[in-house]
Structure 1
Amino acid sequence: MSTIEKQIDVDVPAEVAWDCLHSVESYPRFVDGVREARPQGKSRAHLDLEPGGRLSGVDTEISDRAKGGEKGNVMLWHTAKGESAELKGAFTVRSIDAQHTQVQVRVEYDPEKTREAFGGPKGFAQSDAIQELVQHDLEKFKDLVEHKR
């Protein structure tokens, strides 16, 4: 498994960032490749993806591990059993002060299974592409939460 961690500071209270991460319907606005997203109960979501022009769907399971304080709140997620690409990760939301928040994302993936499921290059090129994608998604998230209010 490979792991990517990225973070970004946003100029909103922690509750605003936390609420946006829990609004599954907003994922297409900040997660590249997600065409549509809809909740399926309290702890599942279905994402319609369009990687490389191919339409596919993936089910995810979501759980919260609220820590509060300096450690922040953590939203864990992973693709449901049986999905071709086994992905898992976490969003951590930490309050910097009353109006500023740090959002960290961690993604764990099997490079070969990810390449098979979504296409793309092998090896370091894929790792670099995924890192750039995660950073780009964080920047889009920042823009969304800062201008949504």
Structure 2
Amino acid sequence: MTTTLTAEIDVDAPVDVVYNQWTQFESFPEFLGAVKEVRQIDDVRTHWTVSIAGKEEDFYADIVDQVPDSHVAWQSTDGTFHAGRVDFQPHGNETRVKLRMEWEPEGFIEKVGAALNIDDAQAQLDLQRFKKFIESRGAETGGWRGEVHGRQETSPDQ
């Protein structure tokens, strides 16, 4: 049974800065609690190591749709199914970040966590850490401005 989690937060930074930071996947362990490591394989493929309920897992995920300053969507390509999308919306001088993720809980602890909406609370906490991470720096650590549609990358120069 697939479960869906959602979270959103307003970040005190312009949309391009917030979006650029989100595209720096290798920095995710600094603010996403379950993420131990993310390696960027190429413009559309990433390798993740996560720890959920004390269980470490590795998987690959592909960016399936990405538009600068708008959204990033991904889907796992092996292991436990999960897919998600983050939308970035200018909101005055801030940026509203909206996360939606679907995943397949495995095992008793993950299923109970999903049933009790602990996943949503964790996602909200992760977004709060992302907000603190970017606001305390005052700038992004990098950024990728290309587009991806249907797992096909279009470079920013095309």
TM bucket (normalised to shorter chain) is 0.7 to 0.9
Secondary structure of 1:90 counterpart: strand
Higher helix share: 1
Secondary structure of 1:122 counterpart: helix
TM-score (norm 2): 0.78
Give me the whole-angstrom Cα distance separating, in 1, the residues matched to 2:97 and 2:70: 10
How far has the Cα of 1:115 moved from its partner?
A: 2.3
Give me the whole-angstrom Cα distance separating, in 2, the residues matched to 1:7 and 1:145: 15
Match of 1:89 in 2: 84
Aligned residues: 136
Over aligned residues, Cα RMSD in angstroms? 1.8
**1:115 maps to which of 102, 106, 111:** 106
Residue identity matched to 1:106:
R
Q: Is the contact between residue 64 and residue 73 of structure 1 (CA under 8 Å) also seen in structure 2?
A: no
Which structure has the higher relative contact order (CA within 8 Å, separation 6+)? Answer: 2
Give me the whole-angstrom Cα distance separating, in 2, the residues matched to 1:36 and 1:23: 12
Match of 1:78 in 2: 75
Structure 2 unaligned runs (5+)? 139-158
TM-score (norm 1): 0.82
Give me the whole-angstrom Cα distance separating, in 2, the residues matched to 1:21 and 1:79: 18
Match of 1:100 in 2: 94
How far has the Cα of 1:73 moved from its partner?
A: 0.6
How far has the Cα of 1:50 moved from its partner?
A: 2.2
Q: Is the contact between residue 90 and residue 105 of structure 1 (CA under 8 Å) also seen in structure 2?
A: yes
Alignment of 1:126 with 2:133, yes or no, is: no
How far has the Cα of 1:121 moved from its partner?
A: 4.6
Match of 1:31 in 2: 32
Give me the whole-angstrom Cα distance separating, in 1, the residues matched to 2:63 and 2:127: 19
